[in-house]
Chains A and B, each alone.
Chain A
Amino acid sequence: MPAVSRPQIDAVIELRAAAVRLGERTLWSGLDLTVSAGEFVAVLGPNGVGKSTLVKALLGLQSLSAGSISVLGGAPGTANEKIGYLPQRRSFDPDLRIRGVDVVRLGLDGNRWGIPLPAAHRYNRRARAAAARVEEVIDLVDAQAYAGRPVGQLSGGEQQRLLIAQALASRPRLLLLDEPLDSLDLPNQSAIAALIARICARDEVTVVMVAHDVNPILGYLNRVVYIAAGGAAAGTPGQVITSDTLSRLYGTQVEVLTTSDGRLVVVGQPEAPALHGSRHIS
Chain B
Amino acid sequence: MVPQLTWNLIEDVRQALVFPFMVNAFRAGAIVAVLSGLVGWFMVLRRQSFAGHTLAVVGFPGAAGATLIGVSATYGLFAFALVAALLIGLVPSTRGRGYSEESAVTGSIQAFALATGFLFVSLYGGFLSGANALLFGSFLGITAGQVRTLLAVAVVAVVALAVIARPLLFASVDPDVARARGVPVRALSVGFLLLLGSAAAEVSQITGTLLVFALLVVPAATAQMWTTGPARSVVITVALGVTVTWLSLLIAYYSPYPIGFFLTTVAFAIYLLSAFLRHTARRAHSRSVVGAR
Q: Do A and B come from one complex?
A: yes
Contact A107 B166 (CB under 8 A): no
Q: Is B290 on the interface with A (CB-CB < 8 A)? A: no
Task: Look across to chain A and name the residue whose beta carbon is closest to the beta carbon of B94.
Answer: A280
Task: State how many angstroms separate the Cβ of B38 from the closest Cβ of chain A.
Answer: 10
B229 to chain A, nearest CB (A): 7
A116-B166 CB under 8 A given contacts A96-B173, A280-B95: yes
Expressed in whole angstroms, the minimum distance between the Cβ of A224 and any Cβ of chain B is 24
Which of B170, B229, B231 sits near A110, CB closer than 8 Å?
B170
A109 and B95: CB pair below 8 A? no
Looking at chain B's contact residues, is the secondary structure mostly helix, strand, loop, or mixed?
helix
Chain A contacts for B183, CB-based, 8 A:
110-111
Does B69 lie at the interface of the complex (its beta carbon under 8 Å from any beta carbon of A)?
Answer: no
Q: Of A93, A111, A149, A280, which contacts B182 at CB under 8 A?
A: A111
Identify A115's interface contact among B162, B177, B178, B228, CB under 8 A: B162
Structural contact, B170 and A111, CB atoms closer than 8 A? yes
Q: Is B191 an interface residue (CB 8 A)?
A: no
Inter-chain contacts of B233 with A (CB < 8 A): 97
Q: Separation in Å of the B292 CB from the closest CB of chain A?
A: 18
**In chain A, residues 99-115, which have Cβ atoms closer than 8 Å to a Cβ of chain B?**
99, 102-103, 106-107, 109-115
Asked if A103 and B228 sit within 8 Å, CB to CB, the answer is no
Which stretch of A23-31, A83-91, A206-214 is in the interface? Answer: A83-91
B47: nearest chain-A partner, CB-CB? A93
- Give Cα A97 to B45, complex, Å: 8
Distance of A86 Cα from B179 Cα, bound (Å): 12
Produce 1/0 per residue, B163-185, CB < 8 A to A: 11111011001111111111100
Distance A101 CA – B95 CA, assembled complex (angstroms): 30
Min CB gap A169→B, angstroms: 11
> What are 19 A-B contacts with C-beta separation under 8 Å?
A59-B180, A80-B180, A87-B177, A98-B173, A98-B230, A99-B229, A102-B229, A103-B174, A110-B169, A111-B170, A111-B182, A111-B183, A112-B167, A115-B166, A116-B166, A116-B231, A166-B174, A166-B177, A282-B96
